[in-house]
């Protein structure tokens, strides 16, 4: 009997270590899942802003038709798309979950008919954002949206 008691005494506390280890693993997975979900939601909000900015650029090109006359294509150029996208971002509030946002290189009109808007932003991560920032890092999200308005003349 004494060897059985000795064995039981030696095993005391090992279950607590196991529970503590499993709790740490579970919390790490939960916090990681929250961070990944937050980045995805931030990406979707940024994509929404890029879609709206690209649409605003094509609308501005359509307004030019009234000023300059009807041509064969929508009169878009890089400067118009970049300016319209920047004005659109300045006019709307930055969505929750984004630290900073800006128009990224690549915004413009490659063919004079399509507005391409690229936006970049720093995602604000819950629970781990401060730790990541203290380590000198951040999560940058970049999205691209395209809009095209067809100009058709009546036969």
Q: Would you say residue 43 lies in a domain? A: yes
pLDDT over 70 (residue 59): yes
Position with higher pLDDT, 23 vs 58: 23
Domain extent, residue 119, equals 2-148
Residue 155 inside a domain? The answer is: no
Q: Answer yes or no: is 50 within a domain.
A: yes
Among 82, 121, 78, CA closest to 102 = 121
**pLDDT of residue 109 exceeding 80:** yes
Backbone φ, ψ for residue 102 (5° rounding): -160, 165
Can you give the pLDDT at residue 152? Answer: 60
Considering the domain boundaries, does residue 117 fall inside one? yes
Say if 153 falls within a structural domain: no
Confidence of residue 8 (pLDDT cuts 50, 70, 90): low
Count: domains in the chain: 1
Kindly state whether residue 133 falls inside one of the protein's structural domains: yes
DSSP state of 149: -
Residue 53: inside a domain, yes or no? Answer: yes
pTM above 0.85, yes or no: no
> 3-class DSSP state for residue 107?
coil
- pLDDT per residue over 31-51, tens digit each? 888 888 888 998 999 999 999
To which residue do tokens 């041509």 refer?
A: 71
pLDDT at 29: 92
Give the Cβ contact number of residue 90 at 10 Å.
7
Interval 81-106 mean pLDDT: 87
Of 151, 148, 145, 120, nearest to 52 by C-alpha is 145
Does some domain include residue 127? Answer: yes
């Amino acid at each position: 009997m004494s060897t059985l008691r000795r064995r039981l005494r030696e095993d005391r506390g090992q279950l607590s270590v196991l529970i503590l280890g499993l709790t740490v693993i579970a919390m790490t997975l939960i916090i990681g899942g929250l961070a990944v979900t937050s980045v995805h939601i931030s990406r979707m909000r940024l994509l929404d802003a890029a879609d709206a900015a690209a649409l605003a650029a094509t609308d501005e090109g359509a307004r030019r038709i009234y000023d300059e006359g009807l041509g064969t294509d929508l009169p878009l150029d890089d400067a118009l798309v970049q300016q319209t996208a920047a004005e659109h971002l300045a006019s709307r509030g930055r969505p929750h979950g984004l630290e900073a946002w800006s128009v990224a290189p690549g915004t413009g009109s490659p063919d004079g008919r399509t507005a391409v808007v690229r936006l970049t932003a720093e995602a604000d991560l819950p629970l781990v954002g401060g730790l990541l920032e203290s380590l000198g890092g951040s999560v940058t999200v970049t999205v691209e949206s395209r809009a095209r308005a067809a100009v058709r003349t009546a036969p």
